[in-house]
């Protein structure tokens, strides 16, 4: 009986050692690649990529073991001298990579929930891309033939494809709450304005601590903070700049009962066309508490053009300019990418409206003052 128990106990010890392994295995096939081809393994640390290993292909195969880790991470494989990155997510499970020399975009890594879901997402995305490419070709043919009806029909189909892609992204994020790829999609959708700030904030608030502390989550949070600047209901960021007489003025110096921050430039024709309307509103409401501070995006060396435009357009209010064109730090702070751009503030410096022009500006001011 004792002799029988010893092998059994040994087997249990071996099983226990296997289960307690502190490494996982990455193996794969590099189909079509010659022996001694190098595959570089990268990881990200603080938003910087670095090489952690070099794998050598032999008989179209490669493998290596890596230490398990508690923190979520993003890695990628790159064949030396080729530009394609094959993303994968280490999840302390053995992984299997398949790399095709004649079809790098069809390559994938599988073996864990996050990697399998990402691979399936990429497959569906490529199918949508192929369908879109076919639509582009058909649209070009319809344009050459002057077939307006066909063009309209194809545009409708293409719009449906875009909606399908958006739903694919949203479903992935919803069904993969703590996936790093979901964070990547989140940032992409924010840039495309296909996701609201509230939706993104709600998602970030639902993350596990180890994911919410990842640099990708922090990047999305920073993007949300930048997006909130200049939004209606937010506090207008303070700023200061040089005045035409060589002094310095801040937003706080210019605040009235209501204040318009006006981004413009002497070279901007739409701004100059709108200026008489703003002058009319200022003359009507200034004594009731309306102030205006204009921030000019005139070019370096454009000081005279700036001052002359102020005088010619009779803009008798506060003015500042750093004369740095589109590199103006105030415009960057407010996310201004086109001019004219305006922000209407209350007496506490809260943005209550923006980009009011023409009659819309007068109508808004009438509701505030009259």
Q: How far apart are CA 34 and CA 253, in angstroms?
A: 70
- Please report the sign of the dihedral spanned by the C-alpha atoms of residue 66, residue 182, residue 117, residue 107: negative
pLDDT for residue 20: 52
Sign of the dihedral through C-alpha 217, 222, 223, 224? positive
What is the 3-state secondary structure of 1-49? CHHHHHHHHHHHHHHHHHHCCCEEEEEEEEECCCCCCEEEEEEEECCEE
293: Cβ contacts below 8 Å, ≥ 6 apart? 249, 251, 254, 259, 260, 261, 262, 317, 318, 319, 320
CA distance 75 to 55: 14
Which range, of 115-119, 141-145, 190-194, 282-286, averages the lowest pLDDT?
190-194
- Choose among 323, 344, 326, 314: nearest CA to 232: 344
Q: How many angstroms separate the CA atoms of 12 and 272, rounded?
A: 84
Give, in degrees to the nearest 5, the angle at Cα 322 between 228 and 273. 80
State residue 90's pLDDT score. Answer: 94
CB 251, CB 261: distance < 8 Å? yes
Q: Which helix (H) or strand (E) holds 237?
A: none
Residue 361 and residue 278 in contact, taking contact as beta carbons nearer than 8 Å: yes
- Please compute the mean of the pLDDT values over residues 94-113 and round it to a whole number: 93
Neighbours of 243 (CB within 10 A): 15
Confidence check: pLDDT of 294 > 70: yes
Does the structural domain 22-109 have CATH classification 2.60.40.10? Answer: yes
At 12-71, the pLDDT tens digits run 444 444 445 899 999 999 999 999 999 999 998 877 899 999 999 999 999 999 999 888
pLDDT, position 142 = 87
The domain ranges of the chain are 22-109, 115-228, 240-369
- The pLDDT confidence band at residue 3, using thresholds 50, 70 and 90, is very low
Quick one: pLDDT at residue 27? 96
CA 44/CA 24 separation, integer angstroms? 18
pTM of this prediction?
Answer: 0.63
What percentage of the chain has pLDDT greater than the value 90?
67
User: Which stretches does DSSP call E strand in the chain?
Assistant: 23-31, 38-45, 48-56, 61-67, 75-79, 86-88, 95-100, 108-110, 240-242, 248-250, 258-264, 290-296, 318-321, 341-345, 351-354
Which residues sit opposite 249 in a β-bridge?
241
CATH number of 240-369: 3.40.30.10
d(CA 142, CA 147): 5
Q: In the structure encoding, which two tokens stand for residue 215, read together? A: 């640099």
Return the number of other C-beta atoms located less than 10 Å from residue 278's C-beta: 23
CB 298 within 8 A of CB 271: no
Do 203 and 170 meet the contact criterion of CB atoms below 8 Å apart? no
């Amino acid at each position: 009986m004792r002799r029988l128990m010893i092998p059994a106990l040994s087997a249990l010890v071996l099983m226990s050692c296997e289960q307690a392994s502190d490494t996982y295995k990455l193996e794969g096939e590099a189909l079509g690649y010659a022996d001694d081809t190098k595959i570089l393994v990268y990881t990200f640390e603080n938003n910087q990529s670095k090489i952690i290993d070099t794998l050598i292909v032999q008989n179209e195969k490669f493998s290596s073991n890596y230490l398990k880790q508690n923190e979520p991470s993003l890695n990628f494989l790159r064949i030396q001298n080729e530009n394609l990155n094959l993303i994968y997510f280490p999840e302390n499970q053995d992984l299997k990579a398949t790399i095709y020399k004649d079809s790098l975009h069809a390559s994938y890594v599988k073996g864990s929930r996050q990697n399998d879901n990402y691979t399936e997402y990429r497959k569906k995305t490529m199918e949508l891309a192929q369908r879109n490419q076919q639509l582009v070709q058909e649209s070009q043919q319809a344009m050459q033939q002057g077939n307006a009806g066909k063009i309209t029909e194809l545009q409708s189909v293409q719009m449906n494809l875009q909606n399908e892609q958006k739903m694919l992204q949203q479903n992935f994020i919803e069904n993969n709450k703590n996936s790093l790829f979901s964070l990547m999609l989140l940032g992409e959708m924010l840039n495309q304005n296909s996701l609201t700030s509230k939706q993104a904030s709600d998602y970030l608030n639902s993350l596990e601590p180890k994911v919410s502390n990842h640099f990708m989550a922090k990047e999305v949070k920073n993007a949300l903070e930048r997006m909130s600047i200049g939004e209606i209901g937010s506090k207008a960021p303070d700023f200061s700049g040089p005045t035409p007489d060589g002094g310095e003025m801040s937003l706080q110096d210019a605040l009235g009962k209501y204040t318009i921050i006006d981004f413009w430039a002497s070279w901007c024709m739409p701004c100059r066309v709108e200026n008489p309307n703003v002058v009319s509103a200022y003359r009507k409401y200034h004594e009731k508490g309306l102030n205006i501070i204009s921030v000019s995006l005139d070019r370096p060396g454009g000081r005279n053009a700036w001052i002359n435009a102020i005088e010619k357009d009779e803009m008798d209010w506060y003015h500042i300019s750093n004369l740095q064109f589109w590199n103006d730090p105030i415009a960057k702070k407010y996310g201004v990418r086109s001019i004219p751009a305006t922000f209407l503030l209350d007496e506490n410096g809260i943005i209550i409206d923006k980009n009011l022009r023409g009659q819309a500006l007068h109508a808004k001011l009438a509701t505030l003052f009259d």
